[in-house]
Amino acid sequence: MKKKILVANRGEIAIRLIRAIQELDCTAVAVFEKPDERSRHIRLADEAVLLGDGPRKDYLDIAKVIQAAKRTGADAIHPGYGFLAENPEFAKACEAEGIVFIGPSSKVISDLGNKVIARQIMADAGIPMVPGTENLSHGDAGVQEAKAFGARYGYPVMLKATSGGGGRGIRLIENEFQLIEQIPVARSEALAAFNDDSVYLEKVVINPKHVEVQILADKAGKTLHLGTRDCSIQRRNQKLIEIAPSRVGNPELLEKICQTAVKAAKAANYLNAGTVEFLIDKDFNYYFMEINTRIQVEHTVTEMVTGIDIVRNQIKLAFGYELSFGQEDVQIRGHAIEVRINAEDPKNNFMPEGGKKVSVYRSTGGFGVRLDGFVYQGYEIPEVYDSLLVKMTVHGFTWDETVERMKRCLKNFAIVGPKTTIPFYLNVVDDPDFIKGDFNTSYLDTHPHLFHYEEEVGEAGKLAKLIAEIHHRGENPFAS
């Protein structure tokens, strides 16, 4: 392939995409805002275009991104995740300009981004779903519809923004009074966040496991699954730890879920890479949740256990190539765990540590270890973007081996400057329930001891300890 592909993103996912593009003998074009002018993805790309002063608004400016693609002669745009990745108007703008959008069509993104339409597609295909409403009517009629749903199915229920995604636009409703109070608030927030004030209700599945299935689909109609991932360990509906394959001790159920995911993708006329998400209740009933129409943050665990490069396949599928393998070729080997090492303080409700400088950065490594990051020594963490520094994914032949490898890697990491999620993760991988695979979406709430750890010593103390350790090994701590 001799193509030029613009990466409409930043951070670790931009680096991930640039590497895949260059491996395919294509030219990678980066875009950036002023606060990101020292970001690694700019230096790794073959070309780079400044979008504007930012922050965030230029990454989200469809016209500016399209203009950057046209100015550099890009054949395609890869949106990564976040920003414009699930915006059907962006995909539509690419289509109008004859630029290949690396993802599904704008219609599919629009249909699946609208949770009510998506539910109808799945209902027509016979996909099991949690009971829910259509879009609530405006005014008192919508309140009455919501009250009737609550009376029929009982509380709690989930009030959701129709155009929401990624854990946003969701609120738990415990009773009718709260429901009446929160509907106008939810509409207002949905309008501000998604330019759409539509909301709907779903019955809550109590303390479910959150399991998802990676799918790939080509133009010839071949749709494959790459096994399951477990994303149950979350905070505020945002995933923290991802595992492949799922630790649900029911292989027959997981196979059934994988087949259902393929059926759901076909029902939506899905093309390219995507993720079908499900909830599993305590009785092992499973329910369709949504289809994410983009690459997932946690795609790395699937790549580790299958050996399949999802991003590489995404790009080739977008240019019309057919999948070069069949379902029988997809083999799950061992286990993988991914943790998101964020510049956050877990003890302070995961408060971001933006604005701080990474004065020392020493990463881990070794057999079965993968790092996807963009942080480096001297990096100043922007306050205006997300707090992810590096994703660490480890692979092992057995589950115990994988957990032990993750523990060793976390202990080997050294990040001086911001507080990070590393000490929290060290508690998780030592927790008996985690080791047994006994966790669901209530894991953090039911395991408060995970937040009980000694505070990291001050920056000077950590730096002194690190330098002393390096000196002990006879290394030069200041060598580049």
Handedness of CA 73, 18, 112, 123 (dihedral sign): positive
| pLDDT number for residue 188 | 93
pLDDT band at 480 (very low <50, low <70, confident <90, very high): very low
CA distances in angstroms from 371 to 78, 227, 341, 388, listed in the order given: 21, 22, 10, 12
Per residue in 90-121, pLDDT (tens digit) is: 999 999 999 999 999 999 999 999 988 999 99
Domains of the chain, residue spans: 4-101, 103-128+207-333, 131-203, 336-480
pLDDT band at 36 (very low <50, low <70, confident <90, very high): very high
- Partners of 129 in beta bridges: 288
**96 contacts 73 by C-beta, under 8 angstroms:** no
Are 103-128+207-333 and 336-480 the same fold in CATH? Answer: yes
**99 contacts 75 by C-beta, under 8 angstroms:** yes
Query: What is the side-by-side strand order in the sheet with 157-161?
Result: 170-173, 157-161, 199-203
d(CA 151, CA 414): 53
Per residue in 437-466, pLDDT (tens digit) is: 999 999 999 999 999 998 655 555 566 556
- Strands of 8-111 (E only): list them: 27-33, 47-52, 76-78, 100-101
pLDDT band at 1 (very low <50, low <70, confident <90, very high): confident
d(CA 230, CA 241): 8
From the options 3.30.1490.20, 3.30.930.10, 3.10.20.310, 1.20.1050.10, give the CATH code of 131-203. 3.30.1490.20
CATH of region 4-101: 3.40.50.20
d(CA 466, CA 359): 12
**444 contacts 450 by C-beta, under 8 angstroms:** yes
Whether residue 44 has pLDDT greater than 70: yes
d(CA 90, CA 13): 18
Per residue in 288-330, pLDDT (tens digit) is: 999 999 999 999 999 999 999 999 999 999 999 999 999 999 9
Over residues 2-21, the mean pLDDT reads 98
> Annotated active-site positions, please?
294
Per residue in 247-259, pLDDT (tens digit) is: 998 999 999 999 9
Per residue in 180-196, pLDDT (tens digit) is: 999 999 999 999 888 89
**% residues pLDDT > 70 (the chain):** 94
**18 contacts 2 by C-beta, under 8 angstroms:** no
CATH of region 336-480: 3.30.470.20
| pLDDT number for residue 471 | 58
Per residue in 374-383, pLDDT (tens digit) is: 999 999 999 9
**44 contacts 77 by C-beta, under 8 angstroms:** no
| pLDDT number for residue 460 | 53
Per residue in 327-341, pLDDT (tens digit) is: 999 999 999 999 999
Look up the pTM and report it: 0.89
CATH architecture of 103-128+207-333: 2-Layer Sandwich (3.30)
- Partners of 243 in beta bridges: 230, 337
In sequence order, the 6+-apart residues with CB closer than 8 A to the CB of 368 are 304, 394, 395, 396, 402, 405
| pLDDT number for residue 475 | 60
